[in-house]
Amino acid sequence: MNISNLQLEGLYMAVAAINHLLVAKGMVSRDEIAETLRIAEETMADDRREGLSPAQRDAIAFPLRLLQLANSSAGETGTIPFQELARMIGQHKNGA
């Protein structure tokens, strides 16, 4: 696996952990995080829709979708592991 991919995995999980901490401290709600990530994905899609293949759009949206899923599935102990989140995104995309 490419080292850059591993670095990105770490970054995504760090952001998910920070989001979890912000919710746990009462600074923001899960709904506020979800809405912010939804708006970011919508904005990204509007900005990048021309000239990209569906696979390229999915690649760009992946971090936002992962963070949305991490936010919605987080428990008291934090988020579920990256591999599980990625698998869930793939299942959702494939309609499983």
How far is the CA of 17 from the CAs of 42, 50, 60, 65, in angstroms?
A: 23, 33, 21, 15
- In the predicted structure, residue 96 carries a pLDDT above the cut 60: no
Identify the pLDDT of residue 60: 86
Whole-number mean pLDDT of the chain? 87
Report the pLDDT value the prediction gives residue 1, as an integer from 0 to 100: 64
Q: Among residues of the chain, what percentage have pLDDT more than 90?
A: 53
- Is the pTM for the entire model greater than 0.85? no
The pLDDT, as a whole number, for residue 49 is: 66
